[in-house]
Structure 1
Amino acid sequence: MFEIQFNYRAVKFMNPTYLRQIHASQIFHALRAHPNISQRELGVLTGCDKSTVSVIIKRFETMGLVERTQGQPRGTRGRPQESLRISMSSGFLLGVHLEFEQLVLVLATLDGQPLDSWQGPLPVEPAALSPLLTEGIAALMQGQPQPAAEIRSVGVCLPGLVKMGGGLVYSPNLDWRDVNMAELLAPHLSVPVQADNDTNAATLAEHLFGDCAGIDDFLLIQGGSGVGGGLFMDGRVYRGKSGFAGELGHQKVIANGRPCNCGAMGCLSAYLSPGVLVERAGYCAPGIASLADVQAAADAGDREIQGLLDESGGYVGLVLSNLINALNPPAVVLSGTLAQLWPWLEPGVRRSLNENALPAMLSQVNIIISRLSTASVPSGGVALALEGFTSLDASETLFG
């Protein structure tokens, strides 16, 4: 369950409104993760007292966020158990993904369940994003019973360096520099906009919707247009001082190795980015033009391609070993193209881990192959939108 972390010793000195907002966020996420839960069970799950739960649920009902249902009695006698869940008519979340070749919008319910998606051309210039976004939202809302005004929060996933507050510093894939997403989209959207690096968003999505629900500390390495990473620590995405933390694809695997698009040499991304991997595979087996071709060749038993993927897995294992030795995480998630190629990467990854990671730490790590990242609809944007909606600093507070 997504949890709001705070210092309990400071509670007695905390602003009461801020404390209520913390409890409201905890209760909202408990409802999201455990639909049809009773009010009493909410108190047990969140640790909030009975009166706090009651006041916050009444606030949610006033906002139209929750609905009550009558379930079956929990025994042979007694009245039916009244349950609570996030209302399906409480509004929408919108995820925006600027992917390598296309713009993808995902419309979801307020609890993060995807309803529909829309694809359009990737804008060449930042100024072209807003008109495309307006077009996509109009198309998505045609099949919905509520208007676009019911979109409560928007999350934007960006492939590049994103600073605190959502400002894009630089994206080599988009060739965009110094773009403030919130300012760019504010004239066209009347709701909060949360923008972040796409891998940070994927990391958050794994915790909210994926196999890391309930895990408060884990690492993620994702293959996409490049290789990115995310650090989830103490129940939240760790973004560092300025928002740039988690660039795990730029960990060095070979001194003075292949040039990377970041300007350095020998980065993991210089060996495992899909485009680079296809290029390297083409030297082994002429005619390979896509990642699907690489997989097909490996499946067909091409020894050179299998060797290339085994070597690549060794590089992933080396990066993971350094991170495991430094951070002692209980779980590591491999996502995106790394999840797709896992059957062929796994031998090299595990061999490198056994050679380089400290045994005491390695024995405590669970390697998770992301199922969420291979779904047909991306979830990172919706995760950012949900984080923004339940944030303690959201403009429309859950309890103010």
Structure 2
Amino acid sequence: MRSLRGNDQSVVRVLNRNAIFNTLHREGPLSRVQLKERSGLSGAAITGVVGDLMRDGLVEEREGGVSSGGRPPVLLAVNYRARSAVGIKLMERRLEAVLTNLGGEVQRHLQVGLPDHRPETVVRTVQSAVEALLTQSGTRKEQLMGLGMGLPGVIDDRRGVCVHSDYLQWHEVPIGALLEEAVGVPIALDNDVNAFAVAERLFGHGKATSNLIVITVGRGIGAGLVANGQLVRGRDGGAGEFGHVVSETGGRRCECGKAGCLEAYASEPALVARARELASDLEITQADDLLHHLDDPRIAGLLRDAGQRIGIQLANLVNLLNPELIVVGGEGVRFGDPLFTPMREALREHSFASLAVDLPVVIEPWGDEVWARGAASLAVSHAFDLDLQEDACTSAD
């Protein structure tokens, strides 16, 4: 356990506040005695910080503790209704926007058209979306903990900068600062797959896990990696470019300009292109058209090949990270068993020893709202450092 004894007490107070909120979020309602045991904080720190959180409405008391002979203890719980967060997923022609409470529950949801990808257009559209969400829900701006946005590309979350995005044609765009100036709330920015991973870690299938792989299959292929409870972002936020691992040396040309990437074989645009080459007699112009030809052995074989390629590379991740859970999301989940049965088989065939035995692989139903909810989770996690581990609690007697 780290100790900040001797450091500035206001910093200690903030860290302890986050640690207590995190503990209550992770473990549910606890008595003050249980909270002291779980957090490792002193009784005085518990009393002071819990008082602050209750005055802010973020923590509430509940009846219902188990009695050991006297009056049942009062339990402390997070009041998830006390604040809100906005989540934005930036898409090709629109923004998906949600207003959530602190528990990630969606309160309002809307879509706003996006005429182009210029940063000033995106900022203006986000500002309009936030105003609409607040108006529709009757939420005061003061209740917003922050705004999270997930977008494709290499994102430096610390600087709030889109380092590079082929999809948006952005390079070193300080989108975080631009949004904060326009909207007037703290901004949490990350790659959209990382945002999805954060939502799964905080509120979804991965809530009880510390080691998690989230992969998405659709317009592109990406991965969100959680190791020891921490989201792995890498030096510049570029970790998780799963679609650009090499699937075949010297193979098909990828949109990134290199050859043989997994994305050149298994992304939706690649599947469409390959299907047109294999079955020129079929009317295939978009990914949805493949769903109408699943009985065609050429299309079935194409999806099987793509699933195997994803599974092999997923096995490499399992061998490196030894996760407790894998979650698969994205538009591509609608292909179902023709894609994911071969993926599961290849994953288990190529994983080392027993690493994939009894490893759950969950297919998350697709919905843009889920991704926007993940972006809102970024704002909540940034506000309270919800990815802190128990051994990162501070001590202040």
Which of the five TM-score ranges fits, normalised by the shorter chain?
0.7 to 0.9
Which of 291, 302, 308 lines up with 1:295 in the alignment?
Answer: 291
Match of 1:188, SS state, is helix
Name the residue aligned to 1:133: 126
**Structure 2 CA distance for aligned equivalents of residues 148 and 18 of structure 1:** 26
- 1:347–1:67 distance in 2 versus 1, CA, 3 Å: closer
Contact 2:268-2:332 within 8 A present in 1 as well: no
Displacement of 1:250 after TM fit?
0.5
Which of 45, 60, 66 lines up with 1:67 in the alignment?
Answer: 60
Name the residue aligned to 2:112: 120
Contact 1:91-1:150 within 8 A present in 2 as well: yes
Which of 233, 257, 266 lines up with 1:263 in the alignment?
Answer: 257
Contact 1:330-1:364 within 8 A present in 2 as well: no
Contact 2:65-2:75 within 8 A present in 1 as well: no
Q: Which moved more, 1:301-310 or 1:228-237?
A: 301-310
TM value normalised by structure 2:
0.86
Displacement of 1:18 after TM fit?
4.2
CA distances 1:352-400 after superposition (whole Å, capped 9, x unpaired): 23443222333363323235x54744322112111221139xxxxxxx9
* Gap regions ≥5 residues in structure 1: 1-7, 393-399
- 1:176–1:73 distance in 2 versus 1, CA, 3 Å: closer
Name the residue aligned to 2:272: 278
Name the residue aligned to 1:145: 138
> Residue type matched to 1:390 in 2?
F
Displacement of 1:80 after TM fit?
6.2
Match of 1:359, SS state, is coil
Displacement of 1:328 after TM fit?
2.7
Determine whether 1:325 maps to 2:323: no
Determine whether 1:363 maps to 2:357: yes
**Structure 2 CA distance for aligned equivalents of residues 282 and 78 of structure 1:** 74
**Structure 2 CA distance for aligned equivalents of residues 329 and 87 of structure 1:** 31
Displacement of 1:180 after TM fit?
0.6
Name the residue aligned to 2:308: 314
Name the residue aligned to 2:182: 188
Match of 2:181, SS state, is coil
Match of 1:67, SS state, is strand
Displacement of 1:201 after TM fit?
1.3
Match of 1:257, SS state, is coil
Which of 95, 99, 116 lines up with 1:103 in the alignment?
Answer: 95
Displacement of 1:119 after TM fit?
0.9
**Structure 2 CA distance for aligned equivalents of residues 76 and 12 of structure 1:** 35
Displacement of 1:218 after TM fit?
2.0
> Residue type matched to 1:28 in 2?
F
CA distances 1:120-165 after superposition (whole Å, capped 9, x unpaired): 1224311112221222122111232332232121111111111242
- 1:286–1:192 distance in 2 versus 1, CA, 3 Å: same
- 1:86–1:171 distance in 2 versus 1, CA, 3 Å: same
Displacement of 1:82 after TM fit?
3.3
Name the residue aligned to 1:396: none
Match of 1:195, SS state, is strand
CA distances 1:174-217 after superposition (whole Å, capped 9, x unpaired): 22222111221132122211111111111111101111112111
**Structure 2 CA distance for aligned equivalents of residues 134 and 375 of structure 1:** 19
Name the residue aligned to 1:31: 24
CA distances 1:6-33 after superposition (whole Å, capped 9, x unpaired): xx2x426673554443332232133335
**Structure 2 CA distance for aligned equivalents of residues 12 and 102 of structure 1:** 46
**Structure 2 CA distance for aligned equivalents of residues 128 and 193 of structure 1:** 17
Name the residue aligned to 1:202: 196
Match of 1:360, SS state, is coil
**Structure 2 CA distance for aligned equivalents of residues 80 and 289 of structure 1:** 65
**Structure 1 CA distance for aligned equivalents of residues 32 and 149 of structure 2:** 34
Match of 2:52, SS state, is helix
> Residue type matched to 1:303 in 2?
P
CA distances 1:40-61 after superposition (whole Å, capped 9, x unpaired): 4434444444443322210112
**Structure 2 CA distance for aligned equivalents of residues 148 and 294 of structure 1:** 45
- 1:64–1:76 distance in 2 versus 1, CA, 3 Å: closer
Match of 2:162, SS state, is strand
**Structure 1 CA distance for aligned equivalents of residues 77 and 138 of structure 2:** 19
Q: Which moved more, 1:225-234 or 1:333-342?
A: 333-342
Name the residue aligned to 1:382: 376
Match of 1:383, SS state, is helix
Match of 1:353, SS state, is helix
**Structure 1 CA distance for aligned equivalents of residues 332 and 34 of structure 2:** 39
TM value normalised by structure 1:
0.85
Name the residue aligned to 1:3: none
Contact 1:274-1:291 within 8 A present in 2 as well: yes
- 1:54–1:13 distance in 2 versus 1, CA, 3 Å: closer
**Structure 2 CA distance for aligned equivalents of residues 288 and 45 of structure 1:** 57
- Aligned CA-pair RMSD: 2.9
Question: Percent identity of the aligned residues?
Answer: 29
